[in-house]
Amino acid sequence: MSSLWQLSFPYWLFIVRAVVVYVAVLVLLRLGGKRQIGQMGSGEFVAILLISNAVQNAMNGGDNSVSGGLILASVIIALSIGVAYLTFRSKRAEYLIQGVPTLLVHNGNIIKKNLDKELLSVHELKAILRRQGIHDLSEVHAAILESNGFVSVTKMGENHSVPASPG
C-alpha cells in the first residue's frame, strides 16, 4: 500500500519534467495552428490523443505512484494558470503563445492566402459559416479566425463602428 505514495525519484524532478514537457507541447501546439476542438479534423484529434500518451512517460519517468501523479497534475495546473496570467498581463506574451487573429473573409471575398496559411479549405470555411447561420459569402463583412480557434463573423449591414466610451 505504501508503494502507491512512494516516489521513485525526488519530487523536484517531477516538477522539472512537467515544466519541460508542458512548454514543449505548448510550443508544438502553437506551431500546429489555431483550430479549436470543435473544428479539428480526425487526424488532428488523433494527434492530440497520441501526444498526451507519448509525453506521459517523459513526465513521470516510469513512476506510477499517486504522489507523482498529484505532483504532475499540480504543476500542469500551476503552469496553465501561469500562462493565462502571463498572456493577460503581457500583449507580447499573448502574441507569442496564442498568436494573432487572421482575417479570412472581407466584404464577401475570401482571402485565400490567409486560408492557406491557417490550413483551412474553402469547404471548411463555408461549413464553419453555415454553423453560424450564414449561407452566402456576400452576407459576410468580416470573418476572423481568432487566436483561440473560433471564427467570429460580422454580417454586412451590422454596425461596424466601435462605440465611443462615455466620458
Q: Given a cut of 70, is residue 11 above it in pLDDT?
A: yes
Q: Please write the tens of the pLDDT for every residue from 101-121.
A: 999 999 999 999 999 998 889
CATH, range 102-155: 3.30.240.20
Q: Residue ranges of the alpha helices (H) in the chain?
A: 11-31, 42-60, 66-89, 91-98, 112-117, 122-131
Q: Please write the tens of the pLDDT for every residue from 134-145.
A: 999 999 999 999
pLDDT, residue 37, reads: 55
* Model confidence pTM above 0.85: no
pLDDT, residue 111, reads: 96
C-alpha cell at 43: 487526424
Q: What percent of the chain has pLDDT over 90?
A: 36
pLDDT, residue 167, reads: 42
- The ranges assigned to domains in the chain are 2-98, 102-155
pLDDT, residue 154, reads: 92
Residue 144 carries which side chain, given as an amino acid letter?
I
pLDDT, residue 9, reads: 85
pLDDT, residue 16, reads: 92
Neighbour-count burial of 42, counting CB atoms closer than 10 A to its CB (0-12 exposed, 13-18 middle, 19+ buried): exposed
